[in-house]
Amino acid sequence: MKYLRLILLAVFVMFLQPASAQNDSLVSPEMQNYIGYGAIIAMMLLFLLALLMILRTFKVLTKVILKSQGYTNQQIAAELKPAKAEAKPKAQVWNKLLSLRPLSEEKDMIMEHEYDGIQELDNPTPAWFMVLFYSTIAFAVCYLLIYHVFGLAPLQYDEYKNEVAQADAAQKVYLSKAANRVDENTVKFVSDPEVIASGQAVFKQNCAACHGEHGQGVVGPNLTDEYWLHGHKIGDIFKTVKYGVLSKGMPTWEKQLSPKQISDVANYILSLKDTHPAAAKEPQGTKEEDNKIAAN
């Protein structure tokens, strides 16, 4: 008993720890629920234990009383036994559950017809099979009622609305806490090697197919010269990557790259300037002055 309580207490403490770490209030409503569930389970276990104790007490009492009436030990044992002997052998229980009759009775169940030597038995459909069948029918009826008569559960388009609303809310909460949130107006030009390296990784995976391994330009324009189609400032590049230029075949990356990744890759692109890679594509767009980048 003592051990059980200790274990339960330990479980509670384990549940509580992360909760108190996350929340300001010591016990969150969820935790209170858990404690409630725990308490209920504990009470039920206690109840069960009590029942077992009482049973045991009765047995001991029986022995004491019988002994006082002059029964021998063997007689007492015999007196306590019959309750156990009544239990049926396991196979029979199993057979009953499957509605199986013993094989010896089979000859009484063979039906009079036969086809090419194939006989059939007049066995009933197994009880558990019928239970399964009826319960699936009940499930199906409830399913249709829940979705289409009582409208208790959302159909796909409402489900979608809920999903998006929940995600939007969660995203807002997350972003309000996130420190390194950037967009095209707040993005900064940096030459931190760590940022450049991270930008290079993004570039290799997503941009190199069209702009070339070294930004020399393939289908997409050369990114290493001083000619630019959609602006050369860090904010412009961020914007081009984020929203794309669909009319010219530049896809939107907003849904695929995080703002940090876009900012990194934009900085990496600026770092490519004047690297003069081999097989560079001819210039496109307008020529921009060097110093403007840094001045951004």
Partner 1 sequence: MEPEKFYYDNKIVRNFGIATIVWGIIGMTVGLIAAIQLFHPAANMGNQYTTFGRIRPLHTNAVIFAFVGNAIFMGVYYSLQRLLKARMFSTALSQIHFWGWQLIIVSAVITLPLGLTTSHEYAELEWPIDIAITLIWVVFGVNMFGTIFKRRERHLYVAIWFYIATFVTIAVLHIVNSFELPVSPFKSYMVYAGVQDALVQWWYGHNAVAFFLTTPYLGMMYYFLPKMANRPIYSYKLSILHFWALIFIYIWAGPHHLLYTTLPGWAQSLGVAFSIMLIAPSWGGMINGLLTLRGAWDKVREDVVLKFMVVGLTAYGMATFEGPMLSLKQVNSIAHFSDWIVAHVHVGALGWNGFLTFAILYWLMPRMYKTELYSKKLASFHFWIGTLGILFYAIPMYWAGFTQGLMLKEFTPEGILKYPNFLQTTLLIIPMHIMRSVGGAMYLLGVIVMAYNLFKTMRQGKLVANEPAQAMALEPVHTIEREKAWHRRLERKPIQLMVAALVVILIGTVIELMPTLTISSNVPTIASVKPYTPLELQGRDIYIREGCSNCHSQTVRPFRSETERYGEYSKAGEFVYDHPFLWGSKRTGPDLAREGQKYGNAWHYNHMMDPRVMSQGSIMPNYDWLISQKLDTASTPAKIRAMQTLGVPYPAGYDKIANRELDKQAKDIADNLAKDKIKVQSNKEIIAVIAYLQRLGVDIKATKTTNK
Q: Is 248 in the site for partner 1 (CB under 8 A)?
A: yes
- Among 27-35, 40-48, 82-90, 122-130, the segment contacting partner 1 (CB under 8 A): 122-130
> Coil, strand or helix: which one is 168?
helix
The answer to whether residues 269 and 223 touch, using CB atoms and an 8 Å cutoff, is yes
Q: What is the DSSP string of 214-259?
A: TS--SSSPPSSSSEESS--SHHHHHHHHHH-BGGGTBPP-TTTS-H
Q: Which residue in the set 18, 36, 126, 151 belongs to the binding site for partner 1 (CB under 8 A)?
A: 126
Q: Which residue in the set 41, 46, 51, 144 belongs to the binding site for partner 1 (CB under 8 A)?
A: 144
Q: Which residue in the set 85, 87, 111, 179 belongs to the binding site for partner 1 (CB under 8 A)?
A: 111
- Among 14-22, 28-36, 163-171, 183-191, the segment contacting partner 1 (CB under 8 A): 163-171
Pick from 282, 186, 167: which is nearest to 239 by CA?
186
Q: Which residue in the set 1, 26, 87, 103 belongs to the binding site for partner 1 (CB under 8 A)?
A: 103
Spell out the alpha helix ranges (H) of 125-217. Answer: 127-144, 156-177, 193-206, 208-211
Q: Is 121 in the site for partner 1 (CB under 8 A)?
A: yes
The answer to whether residues 264 and 199 touch, using CB atoms and an 8 Å cutoff, is yes
Which tokens go with 27?
Answer: 């016990």
Q: How far apart are CA 257 and CA 251, in angstroms?
A: 12
Q: Is 85 in the site for partner 1 (CB under 8 A)?
A: no
Residues that bind partner 1 (CB under 8 A): 100, 103, 106, 110-111, 113, 115-126, 129, 132-133, 136-137, 139-141, 143-144, 147-148, 155-157, 159-160, 163-164, 167-168, 170-171, 174-175, 178, 205-206, 209-210, 219, 246, 248-252, 255-259
